[in-house]
Chain A
Amino acid sequence: MAEEKLTMIITRQDSPDSPPYEETFKINYRKNMNIISALMETQKNPVNAEGKHVAPIQWESNCLEEVCGACSMVINDVPRQACSTLVDTLETPIRVAPMSTFPVVRDLVVDRSRMFDSLKKVKAWIPIDGTHDLGPGPRMPEKKRQWAYELSKCMTCGVCLEACPNVNSKSDFIGPAPLSQVRLFNSHPTGEMHKSERLEALMEDGGISGCGNSQNCVQVCPKGIPLTTSIAALNRDTNIQSFKNFFGSDHAY
């Protein structure tokens, strides 16, 4: 019996400076395959649809259960995680391309270091006095904890930056993911003590004013993070912060 084949068209690129090209692969189909297991087939048998021996496809992946954020790709025109994208849910031929917002390293591998730099810029951490035992942390209402936890699931996968029309080479907008992190750290009782520093970082160039409210981000986020709610809340917070900065306030910390 002839094996069922799956056609995949991969956008490849040998190096950051070389031109991209498309290459088609015929992959042995199995039920419940995801994009990663289809790509893995090209490692065991690196032959393209024309029967030519080629270099295996390069991609990033790690946890394969949608918690590490590594395997973001544009699959049939939608940026998403390759691990949780099941082949059976897709129209064929399947088109897989690297995210275009980030510099391509090779094939489907992109450089997302700008996202980690943004986390430095917005001071995405809780300043603690040290790791020595200082007893329990501050109490927090469970209800508030529940929405903050949703924000804390951000994997820095970059899918929201890919979908955002305002994140591109002509703008220095940091994008939805780091914005939402500011709301997370400002929600924590200790993090709140330093919220003005984070809000002020968002009031600089590349900050919150870069958002054009297209709302694409919230639709593509694989973790269902309420990114637009975060941005709306931060708009309010930065406005209040600018008043405080201008007029002064007893609550300006």
Chain B
Amino acid sequence: MSDRNIVIVGGGLAGLMATIKAAEAGGVHIDLLSIVPVKRSHSVCAQGGINGAVNTKGEGGDSPWEHFDDTVYGGDFLANQPPVKAMCDAAPGIIHMLDRMGVMFNRTEEGLLDFRRFGGTQYHRTAYAGATTGQQLLYALDEQVRRYEVQGLVTKYEGWEFISAIIDDDSVGRGILGQNVKSHEIKAFKADATIFASGGPGIIFGKSTNSVINTGSAAAALYLQGAVYANGEFIQIHPTAIPGDDKLRLMSESARGGEGGRVWTYKDGEPWYFLEEKYPAYGNLVPRDIATREIFDICVNQKLGINGENMVYLDLSHKDPKELDVKLGGIIEIYEKFVGGEDPRKVPMKIFPAVHYSMGGLWVDYDQMTNIPGIFAAGECDYTQHGANRLGANSLLSSIYGGMVAGPNAIKYIDGLEKTVEDVPSDVFDRHLKEEEARFEELLNMRGDENAYQIHKELGEWMTANVTVVRENEKLLKTDKKIEELLERWEHINMDDTSRWNNSGVMFTRQLKNMLHLARVMTLGAYNRNESRGAHYKPEFPERNDEEWLKTTKASFDVSTQSPKFEYEDVDVSLIEPRKRDYSKKK
């Protein structure tokens, strides 16, 4: 048994994969923290599938290189290319590994894995388990981690929240402080390497397709402690979600085109299949940023949404209902249960775009390490793979791949350390612990007249209105002013619940402040970027501008001004020369 310790923040796909890789390598113990039981992580919400050019459909021509090219082209060339290529090369092996772990992927007649089409590609490259692929993948990794837990290599801390990183006097990460969400005990998790796998920030936008825990708070807290946050302005708006009172529920891209679904609305009394008309080569399977802008334009500008409302049809009613149940059962059930009384096998679904995914995240190098030595990041909370727009079914891949890279690199990093956590004076940990305990007391004693959930609601409304599909500089500046006002009002929150036991309000209040700071990174990042690229669309600057903006945005927190400051880094385009995106034509 080794006394070397790795702490992993987050138990979704990236965190679990990093855990498995580190445990498999041996010689370390892993503490795995997760706010929720890992089996309830947001990865469960991924529906349509996972990409990998396994190329067993007899199409010829598909290859990891094609997958790589589709991914950087779909991402409008903002991603550094070497890690994307490495991910696409690893993809077929990842799918085989998941298959060996027992994921119940849909099969062909011969009992081989089946693959379907997804946006931004013309190949059948997406392995899937009905329409609940994320859930099935998460369970498979959860089961493998449980095996290591029984063997004593992994200790799970479920119901523990990341509070802050422990950064020593040499600016090196030495673990984290976590807090139990029930007892509110704060504990130092000493470690020579920390891996962030804390997921995305969709809840900053109020209602989105994201789970309640996707506040981005952990990554934001690390940014406030000095980590660089990259490409924060790139937020994916998924074209097809169903509006709801508490959240916007995703309707998988696999329905749109992959399994024959068609997007349309009425124009002059006739069905108008606008994506098929405008983009004959890709049709309904154009990438998400493009489909979203088209639907938005039709509803908001042309006022051609269903009954004049912000909705268009996603239509599967012409398909064989039995086949739909086998391939898309999960989303059909969601539509039936949450819309109430409408059967998508018989009538078209009504959908509208919703905030879905952050391409941006913590800046990491090619080893997945942040600018703080000893702190790594993987999954949606890092910025690496998707550039300015993520292709569907690449997120399950990138989260698993990120974990696969981060786990072994964390061990390699520890092997190379001259000074370990044992050499760090204990007062470093005690000091951090005391500081956070004092801050928690301050939170519990907040006595003002503001309500944290109300502030969050306003944040979500402003962000959704101004920092999503269409961005205008004037509105972005106003939004930033608004967020500053909300930060000021945050100071006057009244802690409605003063209990020291399972108090979710006090935990949310702390998260909210982190969210507000991260919202400024997104908003000002969008304000600065005077071009249109992928998901970032500015009518004032409608074209992509490689000369000035083929650059990664790097935001860091300036303590003196309490604001983000920005610098820009060239994108590594050493493998594929950037070219203009045009989905009306084949590549």
Spell out A's residues near B (CB within 8 Å): 14-15, 30, 32-34, 36-37, 40, 43-46, 53, 55-56, 58, 60-70, 83-84, 86, 88-89, 105-106, 109, 112, 116, 119-120, 124-128, 130-131, 133-142, 145-146, 148-149, 152-153, 155-156, 185, 188, 190-191
Contacts and interface: CB of A to CB of B under 8 A. Distances in A.
A133 B182 contact: no
Interface in B495-530: 496-499, 501-505
27 contacts: A32-B245, A34-B244, A34-B338, A37-B245, A40-B453, A58-B502, A63-B40, A63-B42, A64-B247, A64-B249, A65-B249, A68-B41, A70-B36, A89-B340, A105-B502, A106-B501, A126-B143, A128-B97, A134-B96, A136-B113, A137-B96, A142-B106, A145-B104, A145-B107, A152-B104, A155-B39, A190-B102
B259 to A, nearest CB: 16
Tier of interface size on chain B: 35 or more
A67 B245 contact: no
Contacts of B101: 125-126, 128
Given A63-B44, A136-B112, 19 more contacts: A30-B245, A32-B244, A34-B338, A37-B244, A44-B454, A64-B246, A65-B338, A84-B337, A109-B502, A120-B149, A126-B143, A128-B101, A131-B97, A133-B96, A136-B113, A142-B108, A145-B107, A156-B39, A190-B100
A65 B146 contact: no
B587 interface: no
A126 B140 CA distance: 8
Given A63-B42, A106-B502, A136 B340 contact: no
Given A137-B99, A152-B136, A46 B496 contact: yes
Contact of B45 (A37, A65, A120, A152): A65
Given A37-B246, A133-B96, A139-B110, A67 B135 contact: yes
Contacts of B102: 125-126, 185, 188, 190-191
Q: Chain A interface mostly helix, strand, loop or mixed?
A: loop
A236 B556 CA distance: 62
A61 B212 contact: yes
A148 B111 CA distance: 14
B146 A56 contact: no
Contacts of B502: 58, 105-106, 109
A64 B211 contact: yes
Interface of B: 20-21, 24, 36-37, 39-42, 44-45, 93, 96-97, 99-102, 104-113, 129-130, 132, 135-136, 139-140, 143-144, 146-147, 149-150, 182, 211-213, 244-247, 249-250, 326, 330, 333-334, 337-338, 340, 404, 451, 453-454, 457, 496-499, 501-505
A90 B502 CA distance: 29
Contacts of B499: 14, 55, 106
A53 B449 CA distance: 13
A185 B104 CA distance: 11
Contact of A125 (B106, B132, B144, B504): B144
Contacts of A140: 107, 111
A127 B404 CA distance: 19
Contact of A66 (B24, B212, B337): B337
A125 B454 contact: no
A33 B213 contact: no
B460 to A, nearest CB: 12
Contacts of B497: 46, 55-56
B65 to A, nearest CB: 18
Contacts of A149: 104, 129-130, 136
5 tightest Cβ-Cβ pairs between the two chains A and B: A139-B111, A137-B99, A125-B143, A133-B93, A126-B102
Given A65-B45, A120-B150, A190-B100, A43 B505 contact: yes
Contacts of B504: 56, 58
A33 B104 contact: no
A136 B94 CA distance: 10
B96 A44 contact: no
Given A36-B246, A67-B132, A125-B146, A62 B36 contact: yes
Contacts of A37: 244-246
- Most A Cβ at <10 Å: residue of B99, B135, B213, B246: B246
Contact of B146 (A61, A120, A148): A120
B111 A142 contact: yes
A56 B505 contact: yes
Contact of B39 (A69, A185, A190): A69
Nearest to A131: B97
A34 B245 contact: yes
- Most A Cβ at <10 Å: residue of B132, B250, B338, B498: B338
B22 to A, nearest CB: 11
Given A86-B340, A142-B111, A149-B104, A55 B212 contact: no
- Most A Cβ at <10 Å: residue of B104, B129, B136, B182: B104
A119 B45 CA distance: 22
Nearest to A130: B24
Contacts of B44: 63, 67-68, 155
Contacts of A30: 245
Nearest to A47: B496
A30 B130 CA distance: 33
Contacts of B132: 67, 153
Contacts of B39: 68-69, 116, 155-156
A136 B96 contact: yes
A59 to B, nearest CB: 8
A119 B496 contact: no
Contacts of A36: 246
A134 B40 contact: no
A84 B100 contact: no
A148 B149 contact: no
Nearest to B114: A142
Nearest to A136: B96
